[in-house]
Structure formats: structure tokens, C-alpha cells
Amino acid sequence: MTLPSHARIVVIGGGIIGCSTAYHLARDHKAEVVLLEQGKLTSGSTWHAAGLVGQLRSSASITRVLKYSVELYKSLKAETGLETGWKMTGCLRLATNRDRWTEFRRLATTAKSFGMEMHLVSPEEVKRMWPLMEVSDLVGASWLPTDGQASPSDITQSLAKGARMHGAKLFEDVRVTGFDIKDRRITAVKTTQGAIACEKVVNCAGQWARQVGAMAGIEVPLQPVKHQYIVTEKIAGLASDAPTIRDPDRRTYFKEEVGGLVMGGYEPDPIPWDTGLSGGDVPDDWEFRLFDDDFDHFEQHMTQAIARVPALETAGVKQMINGPESFTPDGNFILGSAPECGNMFVGAGFNAFGIASGGGAGWVLAQWVVDGEAPLDLWSVDIRRFSSLHRDRDWVRERTLEAYGKHYTVGFPHEEYLSGRPRIVSPLYERLKDHRAVFGSKLGWERPNWFAPAGTEPQDVYSMGRQNWFDAVGDEHRHVREHVGIFDQSSFAKYAVTGADAARALHWICANDVSKPAGRLTYTQLLNTRGGIEADLTVARLGEDLFYVVTGTGFRTHDRAWISEHVPDGLDVAIEDITETFGTLSLMGPKARAVLAAVTDADVSNAAFPFGHVREIGIAGHSVRALRITYVGELGWELHVPIAAAGEVFDALMAAGTPHGIRPVGYRALESLRLEKGYRAWGSDITPNDTPLEAGLRWAVKLRKNTDFIGRRALEKINGTPPTKRFVGFTVDDPDIVLLGRETILRNGEPVGYLTSGGYGYTVGKAIGYGYVRNADGVDEGFLGSGDYELVVAMERTPARIHMEPLYDPKGERVKG
């Protein structure tokens, strides 16, 4: 078959992700698709994958993606006639300590929140289900009956046949050598057999995805790691339908295969693949190749596995597999539209979950390619969660190895990565260390999470219950409510949007009205065509053609790319990332005005400087961009300071604030303060799955104005009718309850949703959670107010009180907005 000269969409890579994407593009969208594989289908890492298929994740959308994979694998043979090796054996996850058991209880609650079946079973029940297992050290296990296992190569070949049946063209032995690019868009894919002109490219090249991306100026941050498992001879007494086993406390997994066991694990000291090539590139000819067996490194798994399944001690080892798997710096896979190029999409870095994810990842990625926007809230796997930091391959390697080592560790709440730190620090870093700051990290930035009182060790001690910083954060919280605190939020992402058409472009992109005069700022969402919330930020108008946009640290790449890509063609607009140009000091609390007035000649009275305004004021001899806005529910300003002057301005504020008890405050207090005020957090409370009407943000949308904006048509279709879900708050009186999010909401004993975020409100003295109450017939005030509510926390029900207004909303000028 001759390579065509043109295709609408070119998919690069013939592993399970590439074949799944091609299949869904052809089946669901009737797209003209060409798939290119440099070797043979399934080569790379697909052919040697272990083939375990689990479904539960902490994200409802990603769980849905994995559930789709299972449904596809179950039905694919009927369509293509080819086996997939799918067996719904169920999966047992073992717990040997109380922290793990608490984690499983929370996961079981999450599963029910997402509509999945998950049970907690006793050691005796585990022994009955898996007689060859040693269970004397078990506290219990979780049981997911719909999990299973499959044959990676068989699934891939079945998907490939299905893709061909729906019109896709698949070519083997064709290697991509480069791209023709014009105006940040690929116009043709260059290969060893000629060029193919195309409209879109999908990079599903697996462990080569980083290199393929680099040809187009795109960074795909992944690191190949050597991953080993063994296949044993037949073991007497092992049932062919034995459940797959994950034994995380022993860092191992098992699945039955042809009467024997597949056994592997995730060690705390992984070995990266040092390819010997420049930048760690993977050799082009590494297709069906493996590394030499490394029994010395694998011995740690063997020792743990024999303790769990004693029969392994005498079982013959038929084969050891030692092959590369692509892992990422945060353990989540990579999907979506690359920010550096207008028409390359990526599906790679599956962290040994490629088989479990393959069917669903191809489904959503195909939709993403066709529509130009994600069909679900896929933020946790979106390639735009990364930044220029991830171009540093040494840093990516170090962080990825840490993520690999955490693959089976207990998932403690609020746990921070330790590798590659400190990477990016504000000018206040040393000053805040002197105040005993305990730092966290966000997109490489060191940020103070809390400040340790004298006599307290300045470090996190993780726990499944209240953690060691709980009381210290409470003191910081109360200090902001009663006095004044200063937050270092220099990591905020910041953009300058300029040009003759800047106002026109932002008016189209933003859901709220940003056409206010210079000196005003606007809180707004950016919506997708479904009306879902793609971003949540503030836009300050500094001049006729100059806007200052501020958004969250982690959304730096995503939000800038979204704005850039949605500027209508032909408009005069420039967008510049100026994050490192300005530091940000947030001065918050009832004494904030007194402190600010003491360091500036500007009039900062409410009459002269109202809420929602921006002014240039002088502090310590420097021009400071002051934004009157709050995320804590108190009087306050964000002070955007030239980065080099941040230290001097901080010192001036601290000196002037001494009579008022000023102190630095961390992000964990910020979180508890915003929970009491009911402010939404993008990525948890508000996502691309949620509209402003459902989220209680109708007031921030310009529907009453006769002007168009992205998402308006979708909102108009549902405006005026009760939404089928609505964002509300809950509190519980039990002081021992810890809310984290994903807890199930019960109304009159029936599940109606789950919490999207949770924490503790020190002013109200209760645990606080937020989430969406759902009802297919509509959710109105009457429905919400007429129910009795409970929350399911770690599988235990606790009474809860519903709140439709902010928990902390005192009257008076200090909390306007």
C-alpha cells in the first residue's frame, strides 16, 4: 500500500494508544486517518506490558475514561472478530496497616461517589478468594469486581482491525523524520517514505513521543524507566479466574496467566533508561527489544512476593521481562493539544497504565482532536499542566523517578514531592525561611504552606487524620480574620494582553464583562463551547489597549494557550507571559488598610480605592500595581511589585504592620479562609464539566448584555430552567471528621453527588465541604432545602448541614466582593 500524499489526520505510533485513537477517529468521526508505525504494530512498550486493567482514579472523568476501556474491551471481539484476552477477574488490593486501610476506606467511598462497585473484605474472605495467599499480616482488602486483565497485543491488533474496517489506513515500517511547519502549525509530516500533507497530527509515539514532539518544538516530559516482571510456570492450585492482586505495602502485583503468575512491582529505587544518546533519546530501532535480566534489582520484589504467595518459592520462572515504560513527573499520563504548536495533539506517558487507559484515552483524544477542546474535565492529564520547567530533562528524570517510587506508597493527603527542590524561589524565600516557613511546591515554585511556631519542627508529618500543622494553620487563619496577614503569591501566572483589538478579543473570550474603563478589574471565567469553565481568573484594565491578567500558578501554560488560541483571526492582539516580572504580596485582614496607608502616599480609603479597582501606588520608592480584591473574605489588596523590589516592599509592610500584629501566612490558611467564604477553586469545584449556572456564578456572566462570547449559546439553552446539579456547601459537627473531597453526598439516604473539595473552617469551628447536588428532574431551592443530608466519609455516614450561602459573610465594607 502506497503512502498517501494527503490525510486529514496523521496518527504517529502503532501501540495501543495510537491504534485506539485511529479507531475512534474513524469509527466515531468518519475522519480521514493515516496511522504511521516505524516498526510493527504493538512494538515499543505495548507488546511487553503486563496487561492489568484497573478503573478507579481520584478524578471522576479519568475513572470514566478507564471504565470506557473495560466496556470497549468487552465488546470489541464482536465487532472485529479478534480476541482481546479480556477477563473480568476482579482485583484485590491488600492492606497491611491502618493508614492503608483508611486509604482504602476513602477509596471505597470515592468509588461509590463515581458509581463504581467496590467492597472492603476481611483477610478470611481474601483467603477464600485466593487460597494460595498468606493473609496473616492483612488488615483487609478492597475488592473491585469489574477490574480485570487483558492481552495488550491482542487488544491493539483488534483496535487496528476495527480502525481499518472504518476506513483508517495503517502503515508499518514508516518512520517520521520531521515536519513542515508554517505559522506554528504542521502542514506536512515527513517520513522515510515521503511526506504527507495534513491538517492535524496526533503524537502517540510512546517512548519516542518526546523525540517526535521535539521535531515540532514541543516538549513531552516523560522518562523511560526499566520495569521488570516475571512469568512463572504453572502453579498447582491457582485458579484460572483468580483475581488480579495489588499488594502495595509490598510494592508488588500479580495476575494469573496460563496457570502461572505474572508478578512485578514498583521499587523505591527505580532505574532510568540511560540510552547513551543525546538528551536520553530512545534508539529508533528499539522495537521488540528488552534489557538484560536484572535479578539483583528484582530480588526485592521476589522476596516480598514469596512472603505473600509462598508457592512462588518453588515455582519455575518461565520468563523475565525487563523493558522500558514511559513515566511522567506526576504519575499521570499526557493527553491534549500541545501549547507550542497549533495542530499537534499528544497521547503518551501512561506510567504502565496504558492498557487500562488505552480504550478510553483513544476515545477522548479523538474527540479532542476533532472538536479542538477536551470533551471532559481532563485537566489532571492535560499536557498544558506542564511549563517551561519541564524542558529540563535532568529535572524531569529526577522528579519522574520519585513519582515512580510513590506508585504504591500510601497516598497521604497534602503530600509534597521532594525531588528537584528548591527550583524557583521568590525574593522572599530566605526571609520566609527565617519566619520558619514550611514550603510546598507548585509548578516548580517554592510557596509557604504554613509557618511553624517556635518549638515545632518546621516540616510536614503526614497522617490520614489531622496533620501536625492543623493548629498552626488555625492560628494563621484567625490572625487574618482578626488582624492582618501577608501572603507571598509571587508564583501567580501573569500576562499582559495588548494591542488595538485587545478589548474586543477579551470581550469574546471572557464570560464576564471586561469592557470596563481603565482602573477596573473583573473576575471572570473562560468557557468552552459546552458552557463549561475552562479557566477562572481576573482581568485588570490598565489602559485602553492594555490588560493585566492574573491566574493560578498551575494554570500558567493552559490559560495563556486558551486565550491565544481563541483570539479571532485578524485581530491585533499580543499576549506576553510576565510572571517573573512581578512578585505578588497579598495584604489581607481588617487592619490591611491601616498598614497600606502607612507605607504609601496614595489615598487607599474605600471612597478613593473601592473594591474591584486597580491603581499604581508608591511603596518604598517603587511603583506597585495594587489590585483591590480578595480570596479570603477580608479587606485586602494584591500588591504586584517589580520582582527585584519584592524584598524591600515586604520589609516596609512588615515594619509598618508591626503595631497591627502583621505576620506572614501560608497557603493552607488561604485554603481554609476561602472555604469559609465559599470561593470556588478551579480544577476541583469548577471544571470544564461545570457551567457557571450550576456553580452559582451566574452573576459573573454577561448574559443580560446583547453581546456574544464563547459558551453563550450553550448557557442560553439551559438558562431559565432548574439545573440538574447545583454547587452547595456542607458542614459537619463531628470534630473528628476530616473532609478532603470525593466524599459521597446523601440526601434522604440516597446518593446525589460528591464533594469536590473539603477542609476545615477555623472561624466556624467545623469541617467544610463543597460539591454538586444532582437530580435529573432539576435542582432548585425547594429541592435543596427539603432534604436531610449526610456525608459518607471513609465508608462511615455522618450527619451534615447544607449551606447555600457563604459560611463566613459578616456585614461591612471590609468583605465586599
For residue 602, the domain's CATH number is 3.30.1360.120
Per-residue confidence (pLDDT) for residue 1, from 0 to 100: 75
Indicate whether 702 and 643 sit together in one domain: no
Indicate whether 639 and 677 sit together in one domain: no
End position of a domain, from candidates 353, 385, 417:
385
Which among 668, 222, 629 has a CA at the least distance from the CA of 471?
A: 668
- Residue 475: Cβ-neighbour burial (10 angstroms; 0-12, 13-18, 19+): middle
Sign (positive/negative) of CA torsion 25, 31, 36, 40? Answer: positive
Per-residue confidence (pLDDT) for residue 363, from 0 to 100: 98
CB environment 586-604: b (16+ within 10 A), e (fewer)? bbbbbbbbbbbebbbebeb
End position of a domain, from candidates 554, 578, 602:
578
End position of a domain, from candidates 578, 612, 628:
578
Residue 416 lies in a domain: no
* CATH code for the domain of 525: 3.30.70.1400
Per-residue confidence (pLDDT) for residue 810, from 0 to 100: 66
- Residue 805: Cβ-neighbour burial (10 angstroms; 0-12, 13-18, 19+): exposed
The predicted-structure confidence for 641-662, as pLDDT tens digits, reads as follows 999 999 999 999 999 999 999 9
Alpha-carbon distance of 356 to 231, in angstroms, equals: 20
Indicate whether 51 and 167 sit together in one domain: yes
Q: Which residues pair with 773 in a beta bridge?
A: 726
Residue 414 lies in a domain: no
Share of the chain above pLDDT 70, in %: 99
Indicate whether 41 and 184 sit together in one domain: yes
* CATH code for the domain of 725: 2.40.30.110
Per-residue confidence (pLDDT) for residue 815, from 0 to 100: 34
Residue 453 lies in a domain: no
* Domain region containing 612: 582-661
Does the N-terminal peptide bond of residue 422 adopt cis geometry, omega within 30 degrees of 0?
Answer: yes
Positions of E strands within 258-329: 260-265, 271-272, 317-327
Residue 241 lies in a domain: no
Indicate whether 72 and 204 sit together in one domain: yes
Residue 252 lies in a domain: no
Report helix angle 354-371 to 16-29, nearest 10: 40
SS (H, E, C) 13-79: CCCHHHHHHHHHHHHHHCCCEEEECCCCCCCCCCCCCCCEECCCCCCHHHHHHHHHHHHHHHHHHHH
Indicate whether 795 and 709 sit together in one domain: yes
Number of separate domains in the chain: 4
The predicted-structure confidence for 109-144, as pLDDT tens digits, reads as follows 999 999 889 999 999 999 999 999 999 999 999 999
Q: Which amino acid is at 144?
A: L
Per-residue confidence (pLDDT) for residue 809, from 0 to 100: 80
Indicate whether 603 and 695 sit together in one domain: no
Residue 140 lies in a domain: no
Alpha-carbon distance of 121 to 119, in angstroms, equals: 6
Indicate whether 719 and 768 sit together in one domain: yes
Indicate whether 603 and 689 sit together in one domain: no
Per-residue confidence (pLDDT) for residue 46, from 0 to 100: 81
Indicate whether 748 and 687 sit together in one domain: yes
Indicate whether 198 and 168 sit together in one domain: yes
- DSSP-based three-state secondary structure for 498: strand
Which among 54, 37, 43, 269 has a CA at the least distance from the CA of 148?
A: 54
Residue 541 lies in a domain: yes
Alpha-carbon distance of 555 to 534, in angstroms, equals: 10
List, for the chain, all residue ranges whose pLDDT scores fall below the cut of 70: 810-817
Longest dimension (CA), the chain: 85
Residue 77 lies in a domain: yes
Alpha-carbon distance of 279 to 262, in angstroms, equals: 33
- Establish how many alpha carbons lie within 13 A of residue 198's alpha carbon, considering only the half-sphere containing its beta carbon: 33
Indicate whether 47 and 164 sit together in one domain: yes
Which among 533, 538, 808, 797 has a CA at the least distance from the CA of 685?
A: 533
Task: Look at the chain and count its residues.
Answer: 817
* CATH code for the domain of 63: 3.50.50.60
